[in-house]
Amino acid sequence: MNPTPLREGLFWFGTFVFSDGGRVIYFPGLRDHQLWTFAAGANGTIRQERFEVDHCSLDSSRATWHVTEQGSRRHIGTFRTEALGEGRVLWFGMAIASPDVLRPALKETLAKAAVPLNDAERRIAVALQAREGVVFNTLLVDQDHAPTAPGFMHFSVIVGPVGFAPYRGTQLAFPFGSPYINPPLANLTGIFLRSHRLSLPPYFDIEVVATTLPGAVTVPATFTSP
């Protein structure tokens, strides 16, 4: 049976979850498993590690975050966020080589999980309740002002208190100096941004700022820490 797309050209950016420990967790919607992770520090040195990214965790202090592998066995980094005022923090930037490195959104999705038989009904009810009232935003870039030269999509993720004022500054975790961007980003002028809001009252709001930047990403996806 061939899966039916929900809409042509519509992909999963990912899922945000609020944990019992007060962390905000992001599960990226990457289509393929990445068995290797490449990390580059400010000095440009690249470290290769057999590590499959499962999710990114913003710690309860909102001051640091890290990346965790499947099964939560290990994590990489204690990365800093950047304070943007009014309780907002810049969590991370994410650049993708093309939209199709993400999973396509399908009309039907089957979720499987191994759970104790005597607790299955309760867990199903909890999952359905969590889904009720959720807003499924569509993230867009400004196609009318996209670069005429080759470009890639970049997303800046900001977390703050419910109802925080949209961020209009320039600190957006763009991948300056990244060895995975070709050619390297120079001074950016005349780029157009689109802001999207996700809300989980009474806990937090998330602002995702999407844009198209010039050049190409040489790996499927990159994460940039502020």
Per-domain boundaries in the chain: 14-224
**Mean pLDDT, rounded, of the chain:** 84
Closest Cα partner for 213 from 77, 97, 82, 57?
97
Mean pLDDT of 183-203: 87
pLDDT for 33 beyond 90: no
**pLDDT top residue among 89 and 149:** 89
- What's this model's pTM, rounded to 2 decimal places? 0.86
- pLDDT given at position 177: 85
- pLDDT given at position 145: 55
**pLDDT top residue among 190 and 18:** 18
> 209 to each of 139, 197, 217, 219, how far by Cα in Å?
9, 9, 18, 21
Q: What is the pLDDT of residues 119-173, one digit of tens each?
A: 989 988 888 887 776 777 888 876 665 555 678 999 999 999 999 999 999 999 9
